[in-house]
C-alpha cells in the first residue's frame, strides 16, 4: 500500500489556545507566539492545533486558520503542524479540511460527528472519513475520542479505514485497545498514537509510534525524554519518568480539563490564562491541589 508520507513517530504537543482578558475573549496571538517559542526548545515531532485542549469547538473557522498560520510560521521546518477539522457534517469537515490544507497544515485530525450519535453506524463513520480522505491533499489522522463524542470507533472500523491510502494513523486513548489496533494494522503502514501521556509507556511497548497529548504542553521535556529512553530500550529509566506523569495527567486532563491545564501552564512559565466561556476558572482549592501534585512529582 502506498500511504501518504508523514512520519508521526515521536511526541506531538496538542497546544492550548490562549485568550485575551477582554469581554470578547479574543485569541491572544502574542502569548501564542511566546508559548511556541518555548515549545520550540523541546524535541517535539510536531504540533496539533485543534485538539480538545485547544478549545477547538469554541473557535471560529477564521480563528482556526489564523492560529494554524501563526504556529506554522513559528515551527521549525522539521516539525509538522496538524489541524483538527472536526465538524458535525461531512461537508463542514471537508470545507475546513481544504481550508487548513491551503493554509499550510501538514495533516488533519478528525473525530467522528456525534450530534446524531445514534445514527453513526460503522458505515456512516467509514463514509465520513473516506469522503474527506478522498478529496483533501494532506493526510488524515483519525481521532477516537469517546469521552467527547460518545462514540467509540471500534478496532474493526479503524482496520477498514486503515486501508485508505490517505488515512495514515489513529489517535486513541484506550490503552487496552491500542495493542489490538497495532496488531490488526501491522502490515498496512498505519501509525498508532496514544492520547494520554499517563499510559504512553505501555502504549510504546505495544508498538505505538508515539503520543499526542495536552500534557506535553507543560511537561514536554520529560515526556520526550521518556520517549527517547523507550526507543533505546531503556525501559526501567523510562518507567521512572512515567511514574511522575500519571497523577498530573489524570488530574489536569481527565479530572478538570482545559482550565486545569491552563492553570498549570501559568505555574510552569507558559501563558495559560482563562478558558473561553462557558468554561470557568477553577476554585482556589483545586488550584492548590494542582500545584501540590506538580510539586510532589518533581515538576515544580
The backbone torsions φ and ψ at residue 113, rounded to the nearest 5 degrees and listed phi first, read: -60, 145
Write the DSSP assignment of 226-286 as a string of letters: HHHHHHTT-HHHHHHHHHHHHHHHIIIIIIS-HHHHHHHHHHTTS---PPPTTS-PPPHHH
Q: SS in 3 state form for 96-154?
A: HHHHHHHHCCCEEEECCCCCCHHHCCHHHHHHHHHHHHHHCCCCEEEEECHHHHCCCCC
Instruction: Check if the beta carbon of residue 93 is closer than 8 Å to that of residue 101.
Output: no
The catalytically annotated residue of 72, 171, 177, 262 is 171
Contact criterion met (CB below 8 Å) for 214 and 230: no
- Cell 489541524 belongs to which residue? 83
Question: Dihedral through CA 63, CA 133, CA 105, CA 146, nearest 10?
Answer: 60
CA distances from 294 to 140, 250, 299 (A): 35, 12, 5
C-alpha to C-alpha distances, 127 to 68, 157, 167, nearest whole angstrom: 27, 11, 13
171 is catalytic: yes
Separation between Cα atoms, residue 270 and residue 240, nearest integer Å: 25
Query: For the CA atoms of the chain, what is the radius of gyration?
Result: 18
- Rounded to whole angstroms, the Cα distance separating 229 from 246 reads 17
Catalytic residues: 171
Amino acid at each position: 500500500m502506498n500511504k501518504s508520507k508523514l512520519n508521526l513517530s515521536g511526541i506531538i504537543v496538542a497546544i492550548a489556545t490562549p485568550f485575551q482578558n477582554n469581554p470578547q475573549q479574543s485569541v491572544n496571538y502574542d502569548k501564542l507566539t511566546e508559548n511556541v517559542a518555548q515549545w520550540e526548545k523541546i524535541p517535539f515531532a510536531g504540533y496539533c492545533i485543534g485538539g480538545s485542549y485547544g478549545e477547538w469547538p469554541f473557535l471560529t473557522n477564521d480563528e482556526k486558520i489564523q492560529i494554524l498560520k501563526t504556529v506554522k510560521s513559528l515551527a521549525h521546518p522539521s516539525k509538522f503542524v496538524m489541524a483538527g477539522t472536526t465538524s458535525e457534517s461531512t461537508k463542514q469537515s471537508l470545507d475546513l479540511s481544504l481550508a487548513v490544507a491551503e493554509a499550510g497544515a501538514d495533516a488533519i485530525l478528525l473525530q467522528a460527528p456525534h450530534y446524531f450519535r445514534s445514527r453513526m453506524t460503522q458505515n456512516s463513520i467509514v463514509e465520513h472519513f473516506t469522503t474527506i480522505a478522498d478529496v483533501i491533499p494532506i493526510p488524515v489522522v483519525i481521532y477516537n475520542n469517546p469521552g467527547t463524542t460518545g462514540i467509540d470507533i471500534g478496532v474493526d472500523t479503524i482496520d477498514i479505514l486503515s486501508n485508505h491510502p490517505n488515512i495514515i494513523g489513529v489517535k486513541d486513548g484506550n490503552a487496552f485497545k491500542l495493542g489490538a489496533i497495532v496488531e490488526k494494522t501491522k502490515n498496512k503502514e498505519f501509525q498508532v498514537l496514544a492520547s494520554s501521556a499517563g499510559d504512553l509507556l505501555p502504549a510504546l511497548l505495544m508498538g505505538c509510534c508515539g503520543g499526542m497529548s495536552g500534557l506535553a504542553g507543560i511537561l514536554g521535556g520529560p515526556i520526550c525524554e521518556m520517549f527517547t529512553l523507550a526507543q533505546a530500550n531503556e525501559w526501567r529509566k523510562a518507567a521512572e519518568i512515567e511514574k511522575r506523569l500519571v497523577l498530573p495527567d489524570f488530574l489536569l486532563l481527565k479530572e478538570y480539563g482545559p482550565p486545569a491545564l491552563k492553570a498549570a501552564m501559568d505555574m510552569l512559565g507558559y501563558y495559560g490564562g482563562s478558558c473561553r466561556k462557558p468554561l470557568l476558572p477553577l476554585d482556589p482549592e483545586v488550584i492548590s491541589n494542582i500545584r501540590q501534585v506538580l510539586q510532589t512529582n518533581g515538576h515544580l
